[in-house]
Each structure stands twice: as structure tokens, then as C-alpha cells.
Structure 1
């Protein structure tokens, strides 16, 4: 009674142990400061909630077309035109059950067994597993702190082979907060066109940018790279709609058609109420987004300065999203009450035990010398958490 060999290759989350321990501690009444949140700590704007209520009152509770309602697809096309200078029609759009589902559908649609997908590291932890689920092979290319965790030409060209089918581009990036500039995007686009591979451009954090940084979609550079790019986005991060599960993809019509068939036979349509609310979100004002970004910015600056003020810790200033990578490489080999820090997991476990602070081990993202902190939590929590981290580091010998 053998289970699926392909499914057995999927690894469990490296964060599960620490997350479970932190939740148990909280349930036991312990004051745990959590830096693991992958979602905005703001409520969905009221005008979007009102739109959902209206949809309910109007009886929009039945099946929709599997790939999403036409009005939402048209609103997405308008968004791409207005925000990204990209022209798509409704047949080039699919609405999915969140951006994660959109990515899953992409790899199911484009990969054959043995196809390679280039994944810059650090990476969002689900990318390699989704590639493996589709029979593909993740190929990692390590980025450097001095390059702001962005892939460079030499390292990228070194991993391109005749089996390269796609590259994942995540800008703004989770977990590093890095944002690619136009010349860096042109370099990637030129290599993709020359070597004939797809670019899967995950732009879910598009709206969360700082210091005047501009988001540029690689698909907007020219018609050739647009034809080879699948742009992934959604409403989860920008409009604090993580639980609504609406993501979408824009791309070549033949690929979108295949994705629609996959979705039709697996999940069918995304939630009907959430779709109609999303139409209102895309057409509505962005004051809530600007307010959230302004608050994230205050937290970003505080946490950056606190980290770099602690001897033994360092970080790079993120330009987007709401995460920061805490470099703990200088602490590896140090001890806490007889227990040695050997990497990101042991650091995270010892920190949780000693100071009741939960962070995400960097090994989950392909980097074992750092941990990820999310500043999608209150300033009070951030201050308390950083005080505890500083106290922990001072106790090491």
C-alpha cells in the first residue's frame, strides 16, 4: 500500500516545531512575542466588507465560472493597465484561491518531469515544494547580503541549463524585503528571452514599498519577456484580505487556458462573495493601503536600527514587504546555558525558551545564518520583542 512517491518528496515546514511550541506556550498563558506573521495586522477596509455584505444580500452565493467572474477579470486588466502599463484581456487572466494557489496552478501547467526551475535564495518556503509537486526540480541560486539579496548575472548564468524551464522572481521579496531595479530586471529578462525560459513573477507585495522605491513588473519591459512571464498578484497583502483567498495570474492565453482546466477539475471557482468584494477593492480608494504602508515604515526603521545597535547582530534595510532578515552568523558557536547555537533553528529554539520570542528560522527560506522577523505586528510588540532579543544575546558566551 505504497503512498505517492512524488508526494513523499514534499518536506514538512521547517517552522512547524517552533510554531507549535509558541502556540502551546500562548495557550498556557505565557506572554509570547511572535514575529512570524505573514499577514498585515490591519482589518480589511470597511468598504470592501460592505461590498461582500451586498453580494450576500443579492444572492451572489452560487458557482461562478471556474476561472473567475468576468467583471473581476476586467477589473484586474484595468489594474494592470493603470499600475503596471501592461495590456491584458480577460482571456489572459485567471482568478485563483489566493496567490499560493495561483503559483501551484502555474507549475502544474508549465512543468514536465525533470524540468528545472531556478529559485533565488533566500526564497519563500513554498516555492521548492510546489515545483516538486509538479515533477520539477528546484535549482537554487544563492544571493548575497552585499547584493541586497538580489541575484547577479554571473550566479544566474551559472545555473541555466538546457533543462531550465522557468525562474521565480519575487519582488518585493519575502523574506528579505529586497526590490529589483529596472537594470536588474532587464538582465533577467534578456537571459530569459535568450535561453527561452519562463519568468514566474510573484508581485504580491507590490503595494508595500518604502523610501520612494518603485515597483516595476518585468513583464512591462518588452513584448518578448511579457510573452514569457506569468505575473502573480492578489489582494491579500495590499488590502489586508489574507483570509478572503483571492489571487490572480496574467499571462499567455494558452497557459491561462491550461491553468483554468486544472482549476476546474481541482478546486473549481474561488469564493464567489470574495470575488465580488475584490471588484470593489480594485476599483476603490487606496487610502487604507497608504496608511498601512506608513505604519509599516515606522516599524521597519525602528526594528532595523535596533538590530544594528546590538553587538553580534546585523541586517539589511528592506525596501518592500514587511519582513526583515536578522543575521545571526556571528552568534553561531556561542552558547546559552550550555547549549550551542549551531544555526537558525537552534537560535530560534533557544530564543523562544529563554525569552518567549518566536522568530522563523532562516533554514526554512534556504539560509541557515539568519532568522526572519515580520514587523506586521504592533510597535509595542516589536519594542518588547527586541528588548528580549537584546537581553538574550547579552547572555550568550
Structure 2
């Protein structure tokens, strides 16, 4: 393959070196960077996995995924969005990254352009380049301040070579959910311009605001140009299990299955079988967890917005709080490096989520409330010591 130098870029190098420096002197690290739920994997899934091993689900399985799991995914999605999806439109893959990557591989050709919303998950640009090294990356910034999707700005990014719109709903790192009107307008534009939509919906079960989550899969009109990727890593604390899926038209699903066969042979059989148990139990365990996330977000939001030099927007979903540090006159790397060296609080520099987001840093609140309290206090003290004018 053509190795693009962007694959080797380390936008958070300065911050990473600061973390190492703090550890080298024995300093405590309060990790607020990882997108991993502070939940245990539900015991019924673990039990189902061991039972699957005992029952012999340790052999090869279909590259597209176990039929039983694909049927359950299709049935669950169809019931939620009232659009019919079949098992033939589902591909089970080793993680959501694999689902996005294989989707891009199945769609892109040389010189195609991919518009991707920023701030975005850190792997999106590199996955595009890995899937098609000659593709053109076209970052599209959400509106600063409220993280809304600017439809006119989006239309201005489109050319006759635009092939894909890649975005997350809910967004990572902002936690923003797009309105029904925006979703419908995006569909209208993409239909007219024959653009595929790849929608990463991994945080769709972690919604704690009153805002309605509207997904592209609710609309029959875009179905043939839509790939929805999702999984269980966030909703069921299965980050290390490496299990995700894509829902797409039958031809794209076939292509992704061919890719999976030639790269992985199949997704781990007994893990797929264990995941079938999810659909016998539902998502009741998330009621209490989403309540905890809401409490953490509201507390952190209040603390951040009382300090001169910091500001933020209350998220709708997910684990993350995106803090604006523009008034500190620091880059995100500089701020995060100094913060971790002085306090031990490790946040993620905003530059990791897009070139134009260096005025932000991301905190993961997938930690107990007492850790949120401690980190918020240290962040407030650190920022106040910078003496950025008068307090709010």
C-alpha cells in the first residue's frame, strides 16, 4: 500500500510526554481520557460466552457473522426505527473500527472525496487513508460553541467527487445529538448528490438529555446509501471483546463479508454467540447508568462554567465533556501537559479530534462521581492560578 505520512502523526505527543514524565517521578494520574464505561460486563453475557465454548462454538463461522446474531440485530433495529432490515443486510465484525474501515473499503475508489465531521473520533482520518490512500480527506467543522451541523457549510464542501459523509450520532467528543430537521436535510442533500452516509452510532444507548435521538436508519429513502455501524462496547462494557456490526444494503454487506473473510476469516464465534444473549435481556441496566452520567455531566458543567478561561456545552449523550480553553491562550497540548504535570489530571487535547479544535480539551466522565469531583476541583484550581482576568 501507499504509506501516507499522516498515519505516523502524533498530534498529542507533547501531552503524552508529560504523562510519562509525571509517572516517572511517581506522580498519581487521574485518567479522564479513556472512552470506556465504568461498568462490569453484564454477567449473563460472560456466562453465555462460557456456555458457548462448552457447546463447541470454537470453530470457523460465516464471514458475514452468525445468522442467529444477524437476525437479532436486524429484528431489534427494525422494531426501533420502523423500517424493515434483514439479516442479509447485517455484517458482524471484530469491532466498530473494522465496521467503519470495511465500509470505506467497499465504497471508495481513488480520488473520491470523504467529508467527515469534526471534532471527530481520532481514527476517522487514518481509516479513510488506509481504506483508499488516494482518497481526499475533507474535514467539515461543526459550529463552534453549540456544535450544530451547518447545512450551508456542508453543501459548500460537496463537489462532484464527494462519495461519503462520515459522522457520529451522538457525536464524540461533544456528546451532541443532531435534530430531526438536520438529519432530514442531510438525507435530502445526500440523496440529491448520491453521497453515502456512514453513521457511527456507538453512543446511541447512552443518552441522558431530553433531546430525541433521531437516526438515519429511520428513513427508508436513504437506506440504499446508508451504512450504520454500532456495537456493544459502550452499552455493555465490552470494549475488549472486539465486536461490532454494520448494517448496509445487500451488495455492500456482501463486499464487507468478502473483506472480513480475507482479513479475519470470521469474527470470533463464541463471542458472537454470547452477544445473542443481549437481546434476551434488553438495556435495563443502562437506566441507572445514564442517570449517573447525567449527574456527573451536570456537576462538571457547573464547575467548568464558573471559571474564567473555561466554558462548555452540556452534552446530550456519551461519556465526554468538551471544554473550551481558548481564553487561556494555550494550545490543547500545552494545557493538557501542564494540567497533568501539576495536578495529575489527564484529559485529551482537542487537536486529536481535528486541526481546528486546538482550543478544546476532552474529559471522559466514565469514572465514579468522587473522581469527577476531585478532577473538577483540581481543574478549577489549576485554571484559576493562570489568572485569566476576573472570575465569572
Aligned partner of 1:390 among 377, 380, 389: 380
> Could you tell me the TM-score, scaled by structure 1's length?
0.93
Q: In the superposition, relative to structure 1, how do residues 21 and 228 fare at CA in structure 2: closer, same or farther (>3 Å)? A: same
CA contact (8 A) 2:164 2:198 kept: yes
**TM-fit CA distance, 1:28:** 5.6
Gaps of 5+ in 1: 333-340
Q: In the superposition, relative to structure 1, how do residues 193 and 353 fare at CA in structure 2: closer, same or farther (>3 Å)? A: same
Aligned partner of 2:182 among 181, 184, 195: 184
CA contact (8 A) 1:112 1:134 kept: no
Aligned partner of 1:347 among 332, 335, 356: 335
When structure 1 is superposed on structure 2, of 223-232 and 360-369 the one drifting more is: 223-232
User: Which residue of 1 is the match for residue 142 of structure 2?
Assistant: 143
When structure 1 is superposed on structure 2, of 208-217 and 69-78 the one drifting more is: 208-217
**TM-fit CA distance, 1:20:** 6.0
User: Which residue of 2 is the match for residue 172 of structure 1?
Assistant: 170
- In the alignment, structure 1 residue 199 sits paired with structure 2 residue 204: no
- In the alignment, structure 1 residue 359 sits paired with structure 2 residue 359: no
Separation (CA, whole Å) in 2 of partners of 1:379 and 1:16: 29
- In the alignment, structure 1 residue 373 sits paired with structure 2 residue 363: yes
Aligned partner of 2:279 among 275, 282, 286: 282
> SS of the residue aligned with 1:209?
coil
**TM-fit CA distance, 1:114:** 1.1
> SS of the residue aligned with 2:305?
helix
> SS of the residue aligned with 1:119?
strand
**TM-fit CA distance, 1:7:** 4.4
Separation (CA, whole Å) in 1 of partners of 2:214 and 2:24: 43
CA contact (8 A) 1:84 1:216 kept: no
CA contact (8 A) 2:307 2:380 kept: yes
Separation (CA, whole Å) in 2 of partners of 1:16 and 1:42: 30
**TM-fit CA distance, 1:304:** 0.8
User: Which residue of 2 is the match for residue 215 of structure 1?
Assistant: 213
> Could you tell me the TM-score, scaled by structure 2's length?
0.94
> SS of the residue aligned with 2:117?
strand
